[in-house]
Amino acid sequence: MRCTIVPPYLLARLSRLDASGLETVAAAAHETLMHTRPLREARQSAVLRPADPRSPGGGPQRSISDAGGREILPGTVVRSEGGTPTGDPAVDEAYDGLGATYGLFADAFGRASIDGRGLGLDATVHYGARYDNAFWDGERMVFGDGDGEVFRRFTLSLSVIGHELSHGVTQYSSPLDYSGQSGALNESISDVFGALVEQHSRQQTTDHASWLIGEELFTDMVEGAALRSMKAPGTAYNDDVLGVDPQPAHMRDFVDTSDDNGGVHINSGIPNRAFYLVADSLGGYAWQRAGQIWYDTLSGGALAPRATFVDFARATQQSASSRFGEGSSELEAVERAWSSVGVRS
């Protein structure tokens, strides 16, 4: 399953544009939607580099490839671990972003790479022509350069890089079916750790963080701050071209739909808001307590593939209780947050 940062409903809207001057945007969005299965050179299926068990202190093993504007993976390797900057912004941003993601999971949670055993981190940049997305395909990160009119290059956003690699952490920890509520949890978990990657890299406390996902992606022609807001789902953009951010922040506004794998990018706003409320209540560095609770829940083995929001709420409460104790401020914050978004566990 390809896990993308830009939801299909947004690309579908862009692909239907017929206003003069927006033909390039419409064509780019259409091509991005249509090309869902990249060709692979020298292999028919994904092959993961063997994990090398070691401590997090061993450091990341990164490899950045250049697709050269084609939709063929993996492309040509242009920078490997320890290599000097290339001068290509996309290559060097991807390299640094993979390192920052590794750094969060190693420093905060003692995890060696996305699989916990030192798996190499691979990425491909310059994928496709005006490709309006970035995605995790089960093997590597892949970044488009954007159409230049609505979207800029996707390596610009550290929260996007952290988000997509965190799909790999979920894949190796508690694989959640990518549909319905479990799919929305899958997306939300990636937003959570994508935000934490950015905050950890910048050493931001909860009150100084933006809580925006993809803040750097839109060009100046867009009336919007980011793809999503964890602090205030539904407020990330309000634009004549993009429309209005459709994310709900409460279960009363849950969207029943067959689109977007059952609304995985839409309804993720509800658990996103719950995490923000926990982090805001506890303060300080969000990865130290709120993030630890979410990481314990993800890595603890208690989540079923079809976990619901209620299941996840109960699991986070158990994680908070196990780590911080009954009656702790951490447990109380988790309970209040889920109640505040209408998830009754």
Pairing state of beta strands 134-136 and 72-73?
Answer: unpaired
Residues taking part in catalysis: 164, 265
What does the alpha-carbon distance between residue 128 and residue 147 come to, in Å, rounded to a whole number?
11
Cα 267 from chain centroid? 14
What does the alpha-carbon distance between residue 320 and residue 302 come to, in Å, rounded to a whole number?
14
Please name which of 163, 20, 182, 52 lies closest in space to residue 104, comparing C-alpha atoms.
Answer: 163
Residue with tokens 């067959």: 258
The token pair that represents 218 in the structure block: 């839109």
Residues 6+ apart with CB under 8 A from 246: 9, 234, 255, 266
Please name which of 156, 154, 191, 195 lies closest in space to residue 170, comparing C-alpha atoms.
Answer: 191
